């Protein structure tokens, strides 16, 4: 299977990584290609400096708060990745 991911910022790269983690052991061959008009260090994600503000948008919604925490924890693991 060939998968195209559009965008090489944090969302595009984490999407590609998630697809790989979810399907690499069950889909063979699995080819993931990332397409973007800019790559690091020229992406918006490079300049975001880890800015995280989910508290401005969840309005006390418990499910959204859970999703925000899961996303934050997932992205936090990327800090120590190569």
Determine if the pTM surpasses 0.85.
no
Percent of the chain scoring above 70 in pLDDT: 82
| Tens of pLDDT, residues 11-31 | 888 899 999 999 999 999 999
Low-confidence ranges of the chain (pLDDT < 50): none
- Residues 6 or more apart whose CB falls under 8 angstroms from that of 30 comprise 1, 3, 20, 23, 24
- Spans of all domains in the chain: 1-48, 52-82
The predicted pLDDT at position 43 comes to: 75
């Amino acid at each position: 299977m060939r998968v195209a991911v559009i965008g090489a910022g944090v969302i595009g790269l984490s999407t590609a990584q998630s697809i790989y983690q979810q399907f690499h052991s069950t889909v063979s061959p699995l080819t993931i290609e990332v397409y973007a008009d800019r790559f690091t260090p020229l992406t918006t994600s490079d300049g975001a400096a880890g800015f995280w503000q989910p508290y401005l948008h969840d309005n006390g919604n418990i499910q959204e708060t859970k999703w925000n925490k899961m996303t934050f924890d997932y992205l936090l693991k990327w800090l120590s990745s190569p």
